[in-house]
Structure 1
Amino acid sequence: MTQRAEHSTVMDRLAIDDLITGYAIALDDGDWPGYLALFTPDGRADYRSAGGIEGGTEEIAAWLAEMLQHFAIRQHLIVNRRITLARQDDAPGDTATVQADYLNPMRLVGPATEGEGGPTAPNYTCAGRYHFTARRTADGWRLTGVVVHEKWRQVLPAGA
């Protein structure tokens, strides 16, 4: 592999890592236009293992906006990212997959979150693994798919 190919690979990996970070931030901030901008026009997502739906990104963004409004505090931590870039003729290709674990502590909307000095510990936490697919586009790397594999969840009473 030449230095130019190695440099390109590093730059691709950094761009994909930034894409995944943008995904977490968009979910936590409820930035649905930002969420949609992370995907290709034909992008899809599958949240069924976490009790959600599967579909195109417009449908998914609307569903997420509805579901996540029940949580006053959201924090998606996406870790252990394994990025695999497709190769073409020993050069970086235009597609990639990412396997990454997530931990998602959240606080349900309600009296426990109102006012200062209220509890700040999450009362809903879920975790599992994401499988992302991405493609290089004229606008940079974009997600083509997200599949959530929830492994566990814990719900505690408010103030617990």
Structure 2
Amino acid sequence: MTTRTDHAEISMLVDRFFKALDNRELTADRWRGPFMDDVRMETPLGTSQGADAVRATEEALERYERTQHIAGGVLVDADADAGAVGASVSWNALMTHVHRAATLQERGGDADPLFAAGGRFEAVVRRTADGWRFSRIVVRPIWTKGRPPVGVDVQ
């Protein structure tokens, strides 16, 4: 069972994860903070695991000039299979992406500078000696507005 303290720590993990995305702090050499070594990430761009998951995230974010990820409604449920060491987490997300100048140039003068999405994140977290860490993250878009970067096919 998770306590109020666990819920607060897991909510902070979600906030730190989104902050790291927007500040471009999830790089191949600095990724272990919020993740288990074998983290699995499932996004509209594909599925990857471990360091490859972080590299894929880093590459996806490099397609944009800036991003803003906002999380809300974080729900934490104890994972009965994992006892006191794991929990399922879900939250709503608004994700705004500012296109690079090259994308706008390629699309012409009336191109929308933003690609936005709303959806749900579903995750599994595990308690470690260093605190809670993500072992799995699934991104489930519900809606999008605008177009993704040139050459990107969102599933």
Q: Same fold (TM over 0.5)?
A: yes
Query: Percent same amino acid at aligned positions?
Result: 23
AA matched with 2:8: L
Does the aligned pair in 1 maintain the 2:48–2:56 contact within 8 Å? no
- Kept in 2, the 8 Å contact 1:53–1:60? The answer is no
Superposition deviation, residue 86 in structure 1: 3.5
Q: Distance in 2 between matches of 1:57 and 1:77?
A: 24
RMSD of equivalent CA atoms: 2.5
1:24 aligns with 18
Distance 2:103 2:61 in 1: 17
Structure 1: tracts of 5 or more residues without a match: 114-120
Alignment-mate amino acid for residue 77 of structure 2? T
Q: Deviations over 1:54-80 (max 9, x none)?
A: 111311211222221121120001111
Report the secondary structure of 1:131's partner residue: strand
CA distance in 2 between partners of 1:46 and 1:154 (Å) = 21
Structure 1 pair 22/35, CA: closer, same or farther in 2 (3 Å)? farther
The reply on whether 1:61 has 2:54 as its aligned counterpart is yes
Aligned residue for 2:65? 72
Q: Which residue of 1 aligns with 2:126?
A: 135
Residue identity matched to 2:13? L
Distance 1:123 1:29 in 2: 18
What code does the residue aligned with 1:67 have? A
Match of 1:15 among 9, 15, 21: 9
| Among candidates 113, 123, 127, match of residue 114 of structure 2 | 123
Q: Give 1:111 shift.
A: 7.2
Count how many residue pairs are aligned between Structure 1 and Structure 2: 137
Q: For the residues of structure 2 that align with 1:36 and 1:107, how far apart are their CA atoms?
A: 26
- Residues 8-56 of structure 1 show CA distances to partners (whole Å, capped at 9, x for unaligned) of 7111111101111111011111112454321111211101xx2x11111
Please say which structure displays the higher CA radius of gyration: 1
Q: Work out the CA distance in 2 between the residues paired with 1:146 and 1:11.
A: 22
Unaligned runs of 5+ in 2: 105-111, 148-155
| Structure number having the greater helix percentage | 1
Q: Are 2:39 and 2:53, in contact at CA under 8 Å, matched by a contact in 1?
A: no
